[in-house]
Amino acid sequence: MDRSNHHRVEPYLSTHSLLPENQETPIQFIKTDDTDNKLFYRRNHFSYPPLSYSNYWLPINGIVSTPILLSMQDILHLPSKTIQVVLECSGDKRNLFEPKVFGVQWGKGAISQGYWKGVPLRTLLELSGIREGAKEIVVEGYDFGERTDINKVFSYARSLPIEKAIHPDTIIAYEYNNQPIPFKHGYPLRLIVPQWYAMASVKWIKQIRVIDFNFTGPFQTIDYVYYPNKENNKDAFPVTTINVNSTIQKPLDMEILNTGKHLIKGIAWTGNGFITKLEISVDGGSTWLNAKLEPTKDFSYGWQSWSYEWTISKKGEYMIVSKATDSYGRIQPTIPFWNKKGYGYNAIDKIKVKVE
């Protein structure tokens, strides 16, 4: 009998819904360096936009000196940059909140990392010129649909304050990992806003508008807002910068292990500065040890891989906990910041294993 054994095993995205398509990455299988398109989580508010690109033009208008219309060729000829960026959905880890919150029950896999190439938004704004009184830049996508809460059709659109819009690393991207951006992730052009949760990184850009007031679209003022109280909207504030966070990729939660050596590994990330420390506890948080941070090539907006070699000879149950600290001194909290819509979960990551 032939002993060939070539039965391919591979992970897929885990599906929450198809219309709109919301699928997350099984985070234990993600590569350290960049997320393959096949495992790049998909987060949509609407069905995919009905457009083709035979005649794509990007308008920049509003409070500008000269409204302009750029072709893809125009954009491809401008000076570009490539940056490594973590995109994390602000609803990532929503299913860990207690009490539970309504909405898509994202686990730990609404996060990706990869290389985005494009033109700084700042460069485009310099081409059109910003007029006095300009306050925000609104980026609108081609995706649209009815909001069931207000029974009205909207495009997906978000604004950035001028200072974030003109940050040199806020780019209008046209490539992901050296390829044209995959359609489901925003082809042909996607705004990439490093350090902010990914609701800011508008896909399928339709237009860029400079405004002299505060944008009040529903994805700015109803969704993507922290509401700390269950019963009212008091003390609400907008979702912006990514919180310091970490995820244990290995072992799996509730896994059964043998005694001996085990590599505990994972990722850590932050929207402010970089990760300076990752602490591991194998006793549920009573005592902590430093994990090894993988060397990082350059300054980037990517995540930080880490590992800890655990030698365990005593059988029993263990709670493994990871806690990241960033260069701004932010530390993952023990208790998450509960908010009604379930954004920005970043409590210390916990799993349980049994050694037998």
* Site of interaction with its own copies (CB under 8 A): 1-5, 7, 9-19, 21, 23, 26, 29, 47-52, 54-55, 100-103, 105, 148-149, 183-184, 252-256, 258, 317, 352-354, 356
Strand pairing class (57-62; 205-211): parallel
Minimal distance, residue 56 CB to its own copies, in Å = 8
Minimal distance, residue 263 CB to its own copies, in Å = 15
Alpha-carbon distance values, 54 to 69, 71, 174, 183, 265 (Å): 15, 11, 15, 14, 45
Q: Is 232 exposed, middle or buried (0-12, 13-18, 19+ CB in 10 A)?
A: exposed
Task: Determine the Cα–Cα distance for residues 21 and 287; give it in Å rounded to an integer.
Answer: 42
Within 27-161, residue ranges assigned H as helices are 72-76, 121-128
Within 151-199, residue ranges assigned H as helices are 162-165
- In the block, tokens 């046209």 appear at 174
SS3 343: coil
Minimal distance, residue 253 CB to its own copies, in Å = 6
Q: Name 3's Cβ contacts closer than 8 Å, sequence gap at least 6.
A: none
Minimal distance, residue 77 CB to its own copies, in Å = 23
From the list 201, 197, 195, 73, the residue with the least C-alpha distance to 143 is 201
- In the block, tokens 């308008």 appear at 59
Task: Determine the Cα–Cα distance for residues 99 and 162; give it in Å rounded to an integer.
Answer: 37
Minimal distance, residue 289 CB to its own copies, in Å = 24
Task: Determine the Cα–Cα distance for residues 238 and 224; give it in Å rounded to an integer.
Answer: 6
Minimal distance, residue 190 CB to its own copies, in Å = 15
Nearer to its own copies, 225 or 293 (CB): 225
Residue 48 tokens read as 């995919």
SS3 184: helix
Minimal distance, residue 144 CB to its own copies, in Å = 12
Nearer to its own copies, 108 or 330 (CB): 108
Minimal distance, residue 126 CB to its own copies, in Å = 28
Residue 206 in contact with residue 141, Cβ under 8 Å?
yes
Nearer to its own copies, 288 or 338 (CB): 338
Nearer to its own copies, 3 or 297 (CB): 3
Q: Which helix (H) or strand (E) holds 218?
A: helix 218-221
Nearer to its own copies, 54 or 79 (CB): 54
Nearer to its own copies, 47 or 65 (CB): 47
Q: Which helix (H) or strand (E) holds 58?
A: strand 57-62
Nearer to its own copies, 5 or 73 (CB): 5
